[in-house]
Amino acid sequence: MNPFLSRPGILQQAFLVILLVGSPTRAELQEYRTIPEKSSIVITGTSTLHDWEIKAAIDESALLLDLAQDESGPEIVQMAVTVPVRSMQSGKAGMDKNTYKALNADQFPRIMFNAIDRVSAQEGSEANGWRYTVSGRLSVMGENTPLSVPFLLEQTPDGGVLITGHTVFLMSDTGVTPPRAALGAIRTGDRIVVTFKWALLPTTSLP
């Protein structure tokens, strides 16, 4: 018989130490939910007539963090972001109509982004937060497109987190045909910049 296993007292003591001190790989998972009034997306681009800007809301989105590695920054376990297509507003009714048509808003009312891997903070994080680059799938009109999104994650005084950043891609890469107007005389540029501010609170702190 193994002499170590024949001494149950040692096993009990070791188990008690693990319970009291905690495993070094123990996860401390915390779910966060969006604060809609403090979150927003701004999409900018060009056209043959002028540059343009569209604002959109972030809704029904969630974030799951592992807070066990607090010194090096929390690990992102899950990330899911939803943008209602009809929340996209440019301040110009004609442009909004063309946007909803290009995105087939009636059949596909939401644009979604989902992270596909757990992600740790990058080394050399800033004093006010941690930097990440998340790889995920952008779902537009039912088509999934790989997309990497860099951002800064900061802790907020209310116990929540704030995620800010921007990413650049081509509309055509997501299956979207850049809108046209005036019988094709006005053409929208393919390249867009998406800038985001996503404020979240722990689920236990939400009303």
pLDDT surpassing 50 at residue 16: no
3 state SS of 1: coil
Q: Which residue has the tokens 């009109």?
A: 141
Give the mean model confidence (pLDDT) for residues 149-172. Answer: 95
Pairing of strands 161-170, 143-155: antiparallel
pLDDT surpassing 70 at residue 25: no
* CA–CA gap between residue 122 and residue 136 (Å, rounded): 17
Tell me the per-residue pLDDT of 99-130, one tens digit each, with 9 for 90 and over.
Answer: 999 999 999 999 999 999 999 999 876 778 99
Looking at residue 4, its pLDDT comes to 26
**Which domains does the chain show, CATH number per domain?**
25-205 (2.40.128.110)
pLDDT surpassing 80 at residue 156: yes
pLDDT surpassing 80 at residue 21: no
What percent of the chain is modeled with pLDDT above 90?
A: 68
* CA–CA gap between residue 191 and residue 86 (Å, rounded): 21
Across the chain, what does the average pLDDT equal? Answer: 85
3 state SS of 11: helix
Q: Which residue has the tokens 């495993």?
A: 23
pLDDT surpassing 90 at residue 207: no
